[in-house]
Amino acid sequence: MPAYTPPLRDMQFVLHEVLKVSDEFKALPKHADIDADTINAVLEEGGKFAAEVTFPLNISGDTEGCVLDKSTHEVKTPTGFKAAYEKFVEGGWAALSCDPEYGGQGLPFVVNQCFYEMMNSANQAWTMYPGLSHGAYEALHAHGTDEQKRLYLPKLTSGEWTGTMCLTEPHCGTDLGLLRTKAEPQADGTYKITGNKIFISAGEHDMTSNIVHLVLARLPDAPQGSKGISLFVVPKFKVNADGSVGERNPIYCGGLEHKMGIHGNATAQIVIDGAVGTMVGQPNKGLAAMFVMMNAARLGVGNQSLGLTEVAYQNALAYAKDRIQMRSLTGTKAKDKPADPIIVHPDVRKMLLTARAYAEGGRAMACFCAVLLDKELNHPDEKVRKDSAELVALLTPIVKAFITDNAWTATTACQQVFGGHGYIKEWGMEQYVRDARINMIYEGTNTIQSLDLLGRKILGNNGASLKKFGKLVAQLVEAEGVNEKMAEFINPLAYLGDQMTKFTTEIGFKGFQNPDEVGAAAVDYLRVAGHLVFAYFFARMASVALKEIAAGNTDPFYQAKLQTARFYFAKLFPETASLMRTARAGSKVLMDTEAVFA
């Protein structure tokens, strides 16, 4: 059976020693009183909840799955899920970073980020039920009417109700301009919604008394394409004026998908048969409102994979220390045993270090983005808010795609550490691999994220956003460039930082002449950008560790941090050279292939 220990020490290192979040919060009136002790106490209790309440349900939930009663359209979640959710609500965990005006605790987003990392390590399928509610909450908080906020936000904040996002239809996934769901205006100002949605995570379940669906649909006179999409809030049960649950709305589960992973989460086919809803935001402007939820979800999916990377690493490490096979190539290490633990073998260490590096790099980037969100929403200086928003927009597709790609590599490597046992269900590793695979697909496939990064976020503003991040890199290089002990971290970072401008300009120029060039280079480009970000944070983390060691701190944590950073720069970062070469290879060998596909 697998085990899980919340990585509180590493979270504290990232938050307090690298990002110095308490200092950042002093500039935010809303969070000025939040100190390290408060954050640590919340995360310690959150880690206990993850490890003790939801983690024990992970394998059993995967085995049991969700069951649909086709006669009532009700879904039963796996045994223990509902009881765990009740404890979640009782503990106030749903309200952690929500607005106090609606019953929230008002804590910074970065605290919620770390809490949900632990929840995703413990049980991704379970965590998706409350996790999706945050996106619905954010969309309504940003674009809802006063009446919608009054009716829905307190219940979403408390966790009494959950939320979903209903985008995908059988004939359209990412291309939302093709959607056909209709919204007909009614005399009372409401709308009757009719259509079919698929792949709706947490779309039906027995854990709450109501589910708040956010649904994309078209008005009768809507323009074609994505410019004719509106957003509607369509509850499972209609909501009375006093906030109580009313009669059943005809929006229901017509089927459950039979999936490769995340079996404990109900991925529903949703039938909408004249259900009553109200519009969120302006007519035909639904994508703007939904993107609030979609961007929150994309950051959340990166967090899901970060959680899986961490828990897979922990279990593979424990197994490698215990499992004995063969002798070390450099001589016997465990003289009292018939063979040495497999952790003595170089390639086993490579697999373990790959997972560890991807977890630590991902944690630093994800926490950094969460702090940027806190600053975007709460900083008194408009320029800081604008710059933070621009950096979050740049980094969101990298968080989603780079961390989820890395998690697939990491969980597969960790499964490999177990050898044949990694293929056996009781050890838990094959579930982490299966669960990790979806994260590369949903909330916009990773290719879509790559196109978004290169085409929209970088070339779309002539590299202005990339230059903003480049300034952070340049500042670190300037500050640490004369430190000989930092050379092994700073030199490759500085080199890639210089290369990125030329690389981006070259791809952009080719793309201007032939747009397929952007499509051919985008996936490789995103991985290069991801490594630039990871290298920046590994250099920052190494700098902190070196200073602690120089000051006489003998905590082995800092030596381990340096060793992981050295491994990252030696074994993972060099991928950037081959990626830039394949990106520059162009689109011709991809597109001039009619004979191949004839």
pLDDT in tens, the chain (598 residues): 899 999 999 999 999 999 999 999 999 999 999 999 999 999 999 999 999 999 999 999 999 999 999 999 999 999 999 999 999 999 999 999 999 999 999 999 999 999 999 999 999 999 999 999 998 999 999 999 999 999 999 999 999 999 999 999 999 988 888 999 999 999 999 999 999 999 999 999 999 999 999 999 999 999 999 899 999 999 999 999 999 999 999 999 999 999 999 999 999 999 999 999 999 999 999 988 888 878 889 999 999 999 999 999 999 999 999 999 999 999 999 999 999 999 999 999 999 999 999 999 999 999 999 999 999 999 999 999 999 999 999 999 999 999 999 999 999 999 999 999 999 999 999 999 999 999 999 999 999 999 999 999 999 999 999 999 999 999 999 999 999 999 999 999 999 999 999 999 999 999 999 999 999 999 999 999 999 999 999 999 999 999 999 999 999 999 999 999 999 999 999 999 999 999 999 999 999 999 999 9
Is the distance from CB of 74 to CB of 203 less than 8 angstroms?
A: no
Q: Is residue 468 within 8 Å of residue 394, measured between CB atoms?
A: yes
Place of tokens 């490490």: 317
Look up tokens 């979403």; give the residue.
156
How far is residue 433's CA from residue 250's CA, in Å, rounded to a whole number? Answer: 37
- d(C-alpha 49, C-alpha 58), whole Å: 13
Q: How many Cβ atoms are within 10 Å of 239's Cβ, its own excluded?
A: 21
Residue type at position 344: V
Helix (H, G, I), strand (E, B) or coil at 59: helix
Q: Select from 397, 524, 403 the least CA-distant residue to 466.
A: 397
The predicted model scores a pTM of: 0.98
Phi and psi for 327 in degrees, rounded to 5? -110, 155
Beta-carbon contacts of 118 under 8 Å, excluding residues fewer than 6 positions away, are: 6, 7, 43, 46, 47, 50, 51, 307
Amino acid at 182: K
How far, in Å, are 70, 209, 252 from residue 212 at the CA level? 21, 10, 12
Among residues 376, 443, 480, 548, which one is catalytic? 443
Tokens matching residue 411: 């969980």
- DSSP annotation of 54 reads I
Q: How far apart are CA 131 and CA 138, in angstroms?
A: 12
Active site residue 17: no
- Distance between CA atoms of residues 283 and 205, nearest Å: 30
* β pairing state of 237-239 and 230-235: unpaired
473: left (phi over 0), alpha (psi -120 to 50) or beta: alpha
